[in-house]
Amino acid sequence: MKLPERVTICDVGPRDGFQIDPDWIPTELKVEVIDRLSEAGLPRIEVTSFVHPKVVPQMRDAEAVMARIRRRAGTVYAALVPNDKGAVRAADAGVDELHTVVSASESHNLANVNMTIAESLEKLRAVMQVAARAGVRVGCGISTSFGCPFEGDVPLEQLERIVGALVDMGARAIGLADTTGMANPRQVGRVLERLVPRFSGVEWTLHTHDTRALAIPNILAAMEHGVTHFDASIGGLGGCPFAPGASGNVCTEDLVHGLHAMGVETGIDLDRLIATANRVEAIVGRTLPGQIIKAGKWDRRYPLPDGVAARLRRPGVPDVS
Ligand code: COA
Ligand code: ZN
């Protein structure tokens, strides 16, 4: 297996996860989770979104969240924006990096941001100008890159056209999002084989949802094709309010655990991450999809059953200690 030595993970839980929570999560609890993620050493966190407060009410405290978080040197604080209005709000709030959104399918783009793809691309051009003036970096995400819950297959030519339009307006970082977990590893490989050589110099991120249990296999496929940036959500929170059937992102602590087990570095303190996931579970008040908070890390050991322990001590039985 061809694996990178190190990958960069962005925790999108405070945005992709909290945005769909039906119960209001108080600002101070959102801030607590973001601060814990910072302390765990996350190199990037998508802390909130600057979208219409009536459309996504859970994110209506975006400015307050940004104002209250404790910033750690070494963590980039990003926020999702759909248009220039959001970009101005985010830049004024001190966001380090804007994450823009457009879908690869018309119907999801209309459902999500009430614009055609062409209209979105015009807004994103304005976002780029706001970002350039404010001196903040931009990463451009493309929802439904691997399939749309309304339209099904998304032609690769269509995805390529949108990537091309974003690159033409100056995008240097592109996120391919599998919004409702429709991708499979072969498809991820095929898409990257086509896009990576055509858009050299682009920093690619894979944004996965584990709706059909293929998020980590898809990440493995992407790593084999040279991708080293991944989005993930603490506890496996996540889901798009405007994509039926959407469920959580790949779980950050599960992904970090698996990467560390394979010797791939993340710079993240896994124990602190697990403690944060447990805290998030308490905050949202339901069992989260993450596996490691239930199973423990790979090196967890259980006490031997009595009879087995006695037999192991007998002479002639191989030492297993
Ligand atoms: N933040 C706050 N208000 C915004 C805004 C933003 N980023 N963008 C637009 N608005 C306001 C406008 O100022 C206008 O206000 P007014 O009625 O007081 O004049 C109003 O919203 C309508 O503006 P318009 O451009 O017509 O927006 P819209 O109603 O078509 O909504 C979006 C478009 C993009 C703002 C909205 O669909 C949205 O916020 N979508 C986000 C979806 C999302 O977060 N999905 C999950 C993550 S992928
Ligand atoms: Zn998502």
For residue 215, give the nearest of 244, 173, 258 by alpha carbon: 258
* Cα 269 to Cα 128, 207, 229, 245, 280, distances in angstroms: 34, 21, 18, 32, 17
Tell me: the pLDDT tens digits for 77-119? 999 999 999 999 999 999 999 999 999 999 999 999 999 999 9
Please state, rounded to an integer, the average pLDDT across all residues of the chain: 97
Among 10, 140, 148, 240, which one carries the catalytic annotation? 240
* pLDDT value at residue 319: 86
* Burial category of 213 from C-beta neighbours within 10 Å (exposed 0-12, middle 13-18, buried 19 and up): exposed
| 3-state class (DSSP) for residue 212 | coil
% of residues, the chain, pLDDT over 90: 96
Q: Which ligand is nearest to the CA of 49?
A: 1
Q: What is the pTM of this model?
A: 0.97
Best probe residue, ligand 1, of 15, 21, 51, 99 (max atoms within 8 Å of C-beta): 51
Q: What integer pLDDT is reported at residue 220 of this predicted model?
A: 98
Place of tokens 């004024």: 92
| 262 phi/psi in degrees, rounded to 5 | -90, 0
> Which spans in the chain are helix H?
27-39, 62-68, 84-92, 106-113, 117-134, 156-168, 185-198, 215-224, 252-261, 270-284, 292-295, 306-312
Q: Which residues line ligand 1 (CB under 6 A)?
A: 19, 49-52, 55-56, 80, 82-83, 85-86, 89, 101, 112-114, 143, 240-242
Q: How far apart are CA 260 and CA 252, in angstroms?
A: 12
Amino acid 245: pLDDT: 87
Residues of the chain under the 50 pLDDT cut: none
Give pLDDT, residue 297.
Answer: 97
Mutate to test the pocket of ligand 1, among 21, 47, 49, 52 (most ligand atoms within 8 A of CB): 52
Q: pLDDT digit string (tens) for 155-204?
A: 999 999 999 999 999 999 999 999 999 999 999 999 999 999 999 999 99
The DSSP annotation for 118-185 comes to: HHHHHHHHHHHHHHHHHT-EEEEEEETTT-BTTTB---HHHHHHHHHHHHHTT--EEEEEETTS---H
Active site residue 10: no
